Amino acid sequence: MSTNLKAGTQAPDFTLKNDQGQDVTLSELLKTHRVVLYFYPKDNTPGCTIEAKTFRDSYEDFAATGAQVVGVSADSAENHCGFRKKYGLPFILLTDPGWNVAKQYGIAKTWGFMPGRETFIIDKDGTVLHTFRSQFNAKAHVNEALEVVAEKGEVDDDPKVW
């Protein structure tokens, strides 16, 4: 569970750059999709790669429920671009270089130095539906998020692949 942002609270809006250098704003995404927002430490590290590939492998299941997956780390847009291409990731990756948005979401560092790993499910009205934290069980983020969005039951007849 997040230290600050809990289910039932309003998710802070933000604008960050994607891997193509374009601005992506949470409130704009929420106009059409529920958002599965996951913060992770670093591209191309073992745990983060497992997490990203597991989100990739379940992406169509998320899209079928009307949910858009969005990953956030402090990596550069260039790193994100290579990471997406290398692993065929169909979802948005955003760069939070000063970890400022992560701080707004209450993401704590593990051992005081490693960026945290936490997932938020945000409804279209901006309400946090669920949070999940596990620094070392990356696959659990995907499984728990999919369980929550599937439980909500909204089906998207036109899922978008980013």
What residues are labeled active site? 48
Half-sphere exposure of 65 toward its Cβ, with a 13 Å CA cutoff? 22
Burial class for 57, CB neighbours closer than 10 Å (0-12, 13-18, 19+): exposed
Return phi, psi of residue 47, to 5°: -65, -40
Residue 36, both tokens = 């599965």
Compute the distance between CA of residue 122 and CA of residue 88 in angstroms, rounded to an integer.
24
3-state secondary structure (DSSP) of residue 142: helix
